[in-house]
Amino acid sequence: MRKADLLMEKGEYFFTNGFSIFVNKVKERFELPEHVHDFYEICYVVEGSGFHYVEEETIRVSRGDLFFLPIGVSHIFRPASADPNKALVISNCIFDERLFQFLTSILPDQFGMYRFREQLLQRDNWLHMRERSGEFGLVFASLFEEFQQKRTGYETMLCGLLLQLFIQMERALESAEAPVYNRMETILRVVRERLGDKMTLADVSDAVNLGVRQLQRMIAEQLGCSFSELLLSERINLSCRLLEDAANSRRSIADIAAAVGMQDVKRFYRVFKEKTGMTPGAYRVGRGSENFVGFP
């Protein structure tokens, strides 16, 4: 799906009384669509596991992962399971560009924020990092509490906590421990280009010029899953996109199953429902409303 066709989340849906910070905590669901924002967003994985699709990358996530998403970056979280007892819980802090520019320019370069600003010179340069000892989780817990309770001075407190979170991210960049997934780009591209075909680990291994065991190890280390789990996740995510796309509204479920490499329609129905909690037909109907607004 083209980025221009994705749902656009607007800050005006969430910001009130002229204050441009919004904080929430949500259980991710399969029916939420891939989308872009006209605001900045920081997402923190509170509990559970799943996948985060950011632009053209797929990242396995679990508690402690944090993402900084600038304006216009497309993304969606998908839980690893539709089981409510295995929920993927995400805490989000969103804020507008004006506030971001203000908070990141308060201090001179020698006081901090240098690397963070350098990383974000390009509008679409999103960041992924992982906490070392719960430091991101502590700040997010305070952000959520302040936003919910709205005690005297909470607006100023939220700005201070957001600046604290920026500094924690600066420290993570300084330590050079933020995960880098560039090595996976070629592997993921090959997998996505061949989703409609029968595909084995050996096929991908040959295409990327890596040994089978080395490829298995790389996927396990960087995505935290097996090749078969990755392949199934990519196929279900692509089928979700095809079902969401109005251009495919007259396309049969069987055609969409075949397009993602699952010729057995019964198996496609079963796997889709296991992963999303609903049938492909119900998913298509649920996504049919042009007025649907989901966050994040």
Between CA 140 and CA 66 the distance in angstroms is 10
Mean pLDDT of 273-283: 88
Estimate the crossing angle of helix 201-208 against helix 212-223, to 10 degrees.
100
**115: pLDDT strictly greater than 80:** no
pLDDT score of 179 = 45
| Mean pLDDT value across residues 16-23 | 94
Q: What is the pLDDT of residue 114?
A: 59
Strands 7-9 and 35-37: parallel
Which whole number is the average pLDDT over 50-67?
A: 91
Superfamily of domain 182-286: Homeodomain-like (1.10.10.60)
pLDDT for the residue numbered 150: 95
Fold of 3-174: Jelly Rolls (2.60.120)
Strand order from edge to edge, sheet including 35-37: 7-9, 35-37, 75-79, 49-54, 57-62
Average pLDDT over residues 77-85: 87
Task: Give the model's pLDDT for residue 142.
Answer: 97
Q: Which of 141, 172, 174, 150 is nearest to 47 (CA)?
A: 141
11 falls in which pLDDT band (50, 70, 90)? very high
Q: Is the pLDDT of residue 3 over 80?
A: no
Cα distance between residue 63 and residue 137, in whole Å: 9
pLDDT in the model for residue 160: 95
Which residues, in sequence order, are bridge partners of residue 24? Answer: 92
Give the model's pLDDT for residue 15: 95
> Does residue 80 register a pLDDT over 80?
yes
Contact 12, 271 (CB under 8 A): no
pLDDT band (50, 70, 90) for residue 244: confident
Calculate the CA 106 to chain-centre distance. 29
Predicted pLDDT of residue 159:
96
Q: What percent of the chain has pLDDT over 70?
A: 84
Higher pLDDT pick, 92 / 220: 92
pLDDT band of 106, cuts 50, 70, 90: confident
Query: Would the pLDDT of 121 be above 70?
Result: no
Q: What is the mean pLDDT of residues 112-132?
A: 71
Q: For 175-226, how does the pLDDT look when each residue is reduced to its tens digit (9 = 90+)? A: 654 444 446 778 888 888 888 888 898 888 888 767 788 888 888 888 888 9
Model confidence at 172: pLDDT above 70: yes
Q: Can you give the residue ranges of every domain in the chain? A: 3-174, 182-286
